Amino acid sequence: MSRLPLLLAAPLALLLSACTQVNVKGDPEAWARAMSADTTLRVATYNTSLYDDETGGLVRRLESGDGGARKIAAVLQRVRPDLVLLNEFDFYEQGRAADLFQQHYLEIAQPGGGDPLRYPYRYLAPVNTGVPSGLDLDRNGTAGASTALAGESEASRRNRGNDAWGYGLHPGQYGMLVLSKYPIDAGQVRTFQKLKWSAMPGARMPVDPKTNAPWYPADIWSQLRLSSKSHWDVPVRTPSGVVHFLVSHPTPPVFDGPEDRNGARNADEIRLWSEYLSGDSKPWLCDDRGRCGGLASNARFVIAGDLNNDPVDGDGRHDAIVELLEHPRVLRYATPRSAGAAEKTAQYAAAGIVHRGAPEHATGDFGPKAGTMRLDYVLPSVGFALKDSGVFWPSSTSPDAAIADGSDHHLVWVDLDAAVSK
């Protein structure tokens, strides 16, 4: 996984802590050197588990020194992606957590990591997790409180999380962060945080299996948002053209009941990307600024994220992820793999947890009940040539194992030849 030395000068940095806040700084000459460098583009996704149940909790942890964050930074320093999505990184309006992670973790050589790593461009924006809906979304008879109350019980806390637009205990929990070596076209970013689930043709509306009636009352169903966090189309100006970074983090297809409302939502969150790729004319597919339609047919893209759905194992509706993997605009390539995944899957198999998926394809270890699964994806468009790929999950005997357990997920990366098609 060797990489070219990190450029020391910071080019024209676009700091986007919300959809409208942009700071510009840097060295135009360094930007020019970066844009004329090797056309290999390394793209990655990493569920970092850098979240906290308390408002401001992640900032306080990063300020005091967080061991998990050090390991996450060390992995990033070793792999050195040019463009990466971090899932489960709490969102703060002014980007305070992102600042701390960049300055005090990535830009400082970490034990087991590599040279300091600096990303001059980033994108972060609000997500649905922890945002109060004011509705009784879990149908327990009570709409959860909008904020944590003094002496809050566990039941009240759980109710508050369940009744947010996306499960979370405070706005921004389990957020997303895009880090980039190359400029982000902030004016052309599209977000789908508020897209209604019911707007999607053929939406998988949950049904109460006891009555065969819709599980959500009509007035609630009409208001529900599809994305549990958000879906973003982030255009990045790479040396050989614009690449649309399509990122998301669908809800886990568990933690519900026989109506399988989370399984249905997960499948449709994944299907949103299939719809987005399938033609410009989508009058229902409107972003948060009111622009409707899908991705242009000649646009290149990379889909990335913890999609919470294994093609063959686990509780998800597998048809959704298989449809995306087999979409005609998605590049077919050998699945990223690792020695650590094969080793851990074999251990679970010996204990009686047998999965159908290829052991080396798993991207995370989810404990003795679920075992290992492939949940994290980096899916380039046709028009790229794949040069290499992998999962940073070393075997237990490797020295690298010391930094690989900062999260229950592992970083997935692909190397693309970005000069194949413009």
- CATH number assigned to the domain comprising residue 390: 3.60.10.10
For residue 88, the one-letter residue type is: E
pLDDT grade, residue 22 (50/70/90)? very low
pLDDT > 70 in the chain, percent: 90
pLDDT grade, residue 419 (50/70/90)? low
Residue 198 lies in a domain: no
pLDDT of 347 higher than 60? yes
Beta strands in 65-136 (DSSP E): 83-89, 121-123
Three-state SS for 258-305 is CCCHHHHHHHHHHHHHHHHHCCCCCCCCECCCCCECCCCCCCEEEEEE
Residue 212 lies in a domain: no
What is the average pLDDT score of the chain?
91
Tell me what the mean pLDDT of segment 94-122 comes to. Answer: 97
Structure tokens at 210: 């006891």
Instruction: Please say whether the beta carbons of 69 and 105 come within 8 A.
Output: yes
Local structure of 131: helix, strand or coil: coil
Tell me what the mean pLDDT of segment 408-418 comes to. Answer: 95
Residue 67 lies in a domain: yes
DSSP letters for 225-250: BS-SS--EEEEEEETTEEEEEEE--P
pLDDT of 18 higher than 50? no
Local structure of 106: helix, strand or coil: helix
CA angle 190, 320, 170 (to 5 degrees): 55
- The total domain count for the chain is 1
pLDDT of 25 higher than 70? no
pLDDT grade, residue 236 (50/70/90)? very high
Range of the domain at 251: 15-130+165-184+232-260+299-417
Q: Which helix (H) or strand (E) holds 345?
A: helix 339-350
User: By CB neighbour count within 10 A (0-12 exposed, 13-18 middle, 19+ buried), where does 396 fall?
Assistant: exposed
What pLDDT, on a 0 to 100 scale, did the predictor assign at position 54? 95
Tell me what the mean pLDDT of segment 11-40 comes to. Answer: 45
Place of tokens 């998926």: 357
Tell me what the mean pLDDT of segment 315-338 comes to. Answer: 97
Tell me what the mean pLDDT of segment 242-271 comes to. Answer: 97
Residue 330 lies in a domain: yes
CA–CA separation, 146 and 91 (whole Å): 18
Residue 395 lies in a domain: yes
CA angle 240, 382, 304 (to 5 degrees): 85
Residue 381 lies in a domain: yes
Place of tokens 């149940």: 53
Nearest of 76, 58, 69 to residue 6 by alpha carbon: 76
What pLDDT, on a 0 to 100 scale, did the predictor assign at position 152? 85
What pLDDT, on a 0 to 100 scale, did the predictor assign at position 33? 53
pLDDT in tens, 26-73: 345 545 555 555 689 999 999 999 999 999 999 999 999 999 999 999
Instruction: Please say whether the beta carbons of 180 and 10 come within 8 A.
Output: no
Residue 76 lies in a domain: yes
User: Is the pLDDT higher at 378 or at 10?
Assistant: 378
Tell me what the mean pLDDT of segment 133-144 comes to. Answer: 94
pLDDT of 339 higher than 70? yes
pLDDT in tens, 188-235: 999 999 999 999 999 999 999 999 999 999 999 999 999 999 999 999
CA–CA separation, 3 and 375 (whole Å): 26
Residue 267 lies in a domain: no
Tell me what the mean pLDDT of segment 367-392 comes to. Answer: 96
Nearest of 355, 333, 353, 357 to residue 416 by alpha carbon: 333
What pLDDT, on a 0 to 100 scale, did the predictor assign at position 21? 36
Instruction: Please say whether the beta carbons of 320 and 404 come within 8 A.
Output: no
pLDDT in tens, 171-188: 999 999 999 999 999 999
What pLDDT, on a 0 to 100 scale, did the predictor assign at position 14? 35
